[in-house]
Structure 1
Amino acid sequence: MKKQKIDFILEEDDYPGEETRLLFRFYPRKSRCYGKCSKPPKSWDEVYEVDYVWSIFSQYKDEDEGPNWMMNAMYFECLGDENSIIGLIAEFCNILADGKEDYIWEDADGKTHITPILDHEHITFGDGVNWVIHKYRKTDYYEFSL
């Protein structure tokens, strides 16, 4: 059976009796991948567009109902991140983790460009999610606006 969802724990508080966690949930069966022609793509080279379905929410552990995780609050739900740039956002997070704040890339003509990662709106091509990443001064905390 194929997975209906894949969870990534973004933050977790394991204080006894008050366990909570923040999750990123990806729905692979609801997400779509389109080829450059009318046939489904057989490799990533043939992919024209990817539309992801995902959400970010919090849960708490309900000991009264057994050790079950219950929905606490839905922070963001995307039912179709058309031409998603979430892979690029993941790359930005790696660059930030290396202590850098600029994304350096080369266009099709070989010209080098520098894009600031922080406090800059990163716009998707399509009906997808735009992102802004903000870092709080003198901390290691980042805020993601979607």
Structure 2
Amino acid sequence: MKRKLDFVIYESDTYRMTFRFYPKKSHCHSFNDELPKTWLDVYKVYYSWAILKQLKNENGNIEKTVILFMDHCDECSVIDEISARCDLLSRRVERVERKDDTGENYRINVLNNECFPMGMGVSWMIRKTRDGSYIFEVWNFSNNGFRFVLPFEKVKEFGEYLQMCCDYMLEHSEPI
């Protein structure tokens, strides 16, 4: 199993900001003693991830890493939902119409609509800036938060990365 999966949020000559997912510290459990084969077979996930600031030296090599935000146990993580929202935003879809069990239509706003986990995990909110970039806000159960900005051009790639983290964990899942 991989130790880490990284996505570079921002990079300059002096530092880079990285979203780091820790597969070895994360868990994806089934409902029983058999490994889950699909997401319908998954009972619960506990993901471990962080947002890091990696300072570079004059040669461009990482010299120091500072943890800006970390959650060791993102219980019932919603990063799969954030991945889906990134996909919608990359196609410039900001509102989705659905039908409930009675056949009534309702709307889901992709932006400015906090996404809460079912457990003691991290909640997310995506906002749009005036220049068309997106602000991602994360808050853990201890009420520690962080926000970062992605330009429109990186939103699809970030969503694909988050989905890749989820898919990787399903492939390396565990029975309960």
Classify the TM-score, shorter chain.
Answer: 0.7 to 0.9
Task: Name the structure 1 match of 2:21.
Answer: 26
Per-residue CA deviations over 1:71-95 (Å, capped at 9, x if unaligned) read: 3532210111111110110111111
Structure 1 residues 104 and 31: CA distance shift in structure 2, 3 A:
farther
Structure 1 residues without counterparts, runs of 5 or longer: none
CA root-mean-square deviation: 2.1
Task: Name the structure 2 match of 1:49.
Answer: 44
Q: SS in structure 2 opposite 1:92?
A: helix
Sequence identity (%):
34
Task: Name the structure 2 match of 1:59.
Answer: 54
Q: SS in structure 2 opposite 1:122?
A: coil
Structure 1 residues 30 and 121: CA distance shift in structure 2, 3 A:
same
CA distance in 2, matches of 1:109, 1:71: 55
- Residues 125 and 136 in structure 2, CA contact (< 8 A), matched pair in contact too: yes
Greater RCO between the two (CA within 8 Å, min separation 6)? 2
Structure 1 residues 28 and 127: CA distance shift in structure 2, 3 A:
same
CA distance in 2, matches of 1:29, 1:126: 20
CA distance in 1, matches of 2:126, 2:17: 18
Task: Name the structure 2 match of 1:142.
Answer: 134
Structure whose CA Rg is larger: 1
Per-residue CA deviations over 1:54-108 (Å, capped at 9, x if unaligned) read: 0011112224xx7531335322101111111101101111111111111444556
Letter paired with 1:59: Q
- Residues 22 and 58 in structure 1, CA contact (< 8 A), matched pair in contact too: yes
- Residues 57 and 71 in structure 1, CA contact (< 8 A), matched pair in contact too: no
Q: SS in structure 2 opposite 1:87?
A: helix
CA distance in 2, matches of 1:70, 1:106: 52
TM-score scaled by structure 2? 0.68
Shift of 1:135: 0.9
Q: Which of residues 30, 34, 41 is equivalent to 1:35?
A: 30
Q: Which of residues 83, 87, 93 is equivalent to 1:94?
A: 87
Shift of 1:144: 1.2
Q: When the two structures are aligned, how many residues end up with a matched partner?
A: 137
Structure 1 residues 106 and 128: CA distance shift in structure 2, 3 A:
farther
Whose helix fraction is larger, Structure 1's or Structure 2's?
A: 2
Letter paired with 1:140: G
Structure 2 residues without counterparts, runs of 5 or longer: 139-176
Structure 1 residues 28 and 62: CA distance shift in structure 2, 3 A:
same
